[in-house]
Amino acid sequence: MISLSDIPARGGSPFTPSMGVFVALVLTAPLWLEPVGLYQYLGIEVAIWFIFALGFNLLFGYAGLHSFGHGAYLGVGAYAFGLYEQNVAVDLWGGLAVAVLAAGLAGALVGALISHRRGIYFALLSIACGQVFWFCAIKLHSITGGEDGLLGIPRPDLVIGPVRIELAGNAALYWFVAVILVVVIVVLWRVVNAPFGRVLQAIRQNEMRARFVGYDVWKIKWLAFTLSAAFAGLAGGLFAMAQESAYPDVMSINQSGLIVMMVLVGGGLVSFWGPVLGVLVYFLARDILGGLTETWLLWFGLMFVIVVMARPEGLAGLVDMLRTRIGLVPAKHAPVGAKTGGA
């Protein structure tokens, strides 16, 4: 069975065949989305959720810190972007930077409060902190627009040197988000295969031992939390741009729970790509199943419960199991080129 701790055959090189296929699909989506019966905006949503889910899994899967209140940081990013665009400048990079920084700061604050814990205490504290953000979003009407949300957030143009590209159309915005997604994937893949990623996993596997061999575990957990919040903020900023508004509901415990469910169902506990699969499953349920019945969320929830009961390795784990059964994948051991020990 695959595990996050598996050693990749080609080190941290992001250019694996499956990665290539995925990137190709992502970068060409506007061309095939509509012919398949889907719509452009869906591509934007899915790409944004990919970013959120992959960044989240750095904390949830790799570090083993189960945050059930992470929607708060997506929300902070969204509101920060919106407030910047409305009150400071209609500027794309500035807005996104502010989104990332604000969410990162929120994550740093919460992380400082809860990083000395793990397990159940950590999970419940994360819920409580998420709820506090949600409350603030709802009650601070003058800043956030309260339950009505922050409306009328402009989509700034993309300005690179002398080139100005309008992002008002969904296809154009999609390409922008897609490029960011690819960058995020490359960066995260590097990070999880670098020492930092391995240390996060060590802390997940045995926090005490990590401490006793010299790691400042608190600091590393705090970093992981802050980073995952920053990624959430990036996703949030993009989301505010896509929706042209920001609402408090992303910070609610229901929404925060959804990202947990997506990541688990997809197999985020065992695979880097798990979160991607999970997001796809969710949107499939929402849009395709949702077209058939209003109770699609009930079915998604039931599926999640069954996955937890029967196959917590999720979809990625299932795929791996099938591939091994068919004999497509050899058992994993030393990376290519490494010396194995022995006489």
Partner 1 sequence: MALFTAENIRKRFGARVVLENVSFSVEQGAVHGIMGPNGAGKTTCFNVLTGHYAPDGGRISFDGRDITGMAPHRLARLGVSRSFQIMNLFDDTVVIENVILALPEFRHRALNPVREVFHDMALIERAMGVLEQVGLTARAWERTASLPYGERRALEIAVALAPGPRIVFLDEPTSGLGIDATRALAELISKIRQRYTVVLIEHDMSFLFDLADRISVIHWGQVIAEDTPEALRSDKWVARSALGEVA
Partner 2 sequence: MAALLPHMVNGLALGLLFALIALGFMLIVGVMEVINLAHGSLFALGAYFALSAIDGHWLASSDLTQWWLSIPLTARYVVALVVGPLLAAAAGMILELCLRPTYGKAPLYGLLLTFGAALVIEELIRVVWGTSGQNLPVPDAVNGAFLMGGVIFSKYRFFAAVFAAAAVGAVWLFLEKTPYGAIIKAGTHDSEMVRALGYDLTRLRLLVFGFGAALAGLAGIIMVPIWGLRPHVGIDVVIPAFLIIVLGGIGSFWGAVAASLLVGLAIGITGAYAPAWSLMSMYLLLIAVVGVRARGLLGRKSVLEN
Chain residues that interact with partner 2, rule: CB under 8 A: 66, 68, 113-114, 117-121, 123-125, 127-129, 131-132, 135, 139, 253-254, 257, 260-261, 264, 295, 297-298, 301-302, 304-305, 308-310, 312
User: Should residue 1 be labelled a site residue for partner 1 when binding is judged by CB under 8 A?
Assistant: no
In the DSSP assignment, the letter for residue 146 is: G
Q: Identify the residue among 163, 292, 310, 338 touching partner 1 (CB under 8 A).
A: 338
- Give the span between the Cα atoms of 329 and 323, in whole angstroms: 6
Nearer to partner 2, 137 or 227 (CB): 137
Which residues partner with 151 through β-bridges?
Answer: 245
Q: Supply the minimum distance, in Å, between the C-beta of residue 138 and partner 2.
A: 9
Helices 170-193 and 217-243 meet at what angle, rounded to 10? Answer: 170
- Taking the CA atoms of 88, 92, 97 and 98 in sequence, report the sign of the dihedral they define: positive
Q: List the structure tokens of 91.
A: 């500027």
Residue 160's CB is within 10 A of a number of other CB atoms, namely 9
Q: Which of 213, 309, 310, 326 binds partner 1 (CB under 8 A)?
A: 213
In the complex, least distance from residue 9 CB atom to partner 1, rounded to whole angstroms: 10
What is the rounded distance in angstroms from the CA atom of residue 275 to the CA atom of residue 265?
A: 8
Sign, CA torsion 105/109/110/114: positive
Rounded alpha-carbon distances, angstroms, from residue 288 to 38, 122, 272, 292: 9, 35, 25, 7
Query: Please, what is the minimum distance in Å from the beta carbon of residue 95 to partner 1?
Result: 25
Q: Which does 7 bind (CB under 5 to 8 A by kind): partner 1, partner 2, none?
A: partner 1
- Taking CB within 5 to 8 Å according to partner kind, which of partner 2, partner 1, none is near residue 162? none
Q: How many residues bind partner 1 (CB under 8 A)?
A: 42
Q: Which does 11 bind (CB under 5 to 8 A by kind): partner 2, partner 1, none?
A: partner 1
135 binds, among partner 2, partner 1, none (CB under 5 to 8 A by kind): partner 2
Beta-carbon count within 10 A of 13 CB: 12
Q: Which stretch binds partner 1 (CB under 8 A): 39-47, 89-97, 105-113, 188-196?
A: 188-196
Amino acid of residue 27: L
Q: How far is the CB of 92 from partner 1 (least distance, A)?
A: 25
Of 36, 208, 309, 328, the one binding partner 1 (CB under 8 A) is: 208
Among 195, 291, 327, 330, binds partner 1 (CB under 8 A): 195
Distance CA 239, CA 259 (A): 15
Chain mean position to CA 265? 14
Q: Based on CB atoms, which residue is closest to partner 1, 139 or 219?
A: 219
Q: What is the CA radius of gyration of the chain?
A: 20
Tell me how far apart the alpha carbons of residues 284 and 279 are, in angstroms, rounded to a whole number: 8
190 binds, among partner 2, partner 1, none (CB under 5 to 8 A by kind): partner 1
The H or E element spanning position 102 is helix 92-114
**Residue 106 and residue 127: Cα distance in Å, rounded?**
14
List the single partner that 205 binds among partner 2, partner 1, none, CB under 5 to 8 Å by kind. Answer: partner 1
Query: Please, what is the minimum distance in Å from the beta carbon of residue 62 to partner 1?
Result: 11
- Rounded Cα distance, 266 and 315, in Å: 5
Residues lying near partner 1 in the complex (CB under 8 A): 3-5, 7, 11-12, 190-191, 193-199, 201-202, 204-206, 208-217, 220, 223, 333-335, 337-343
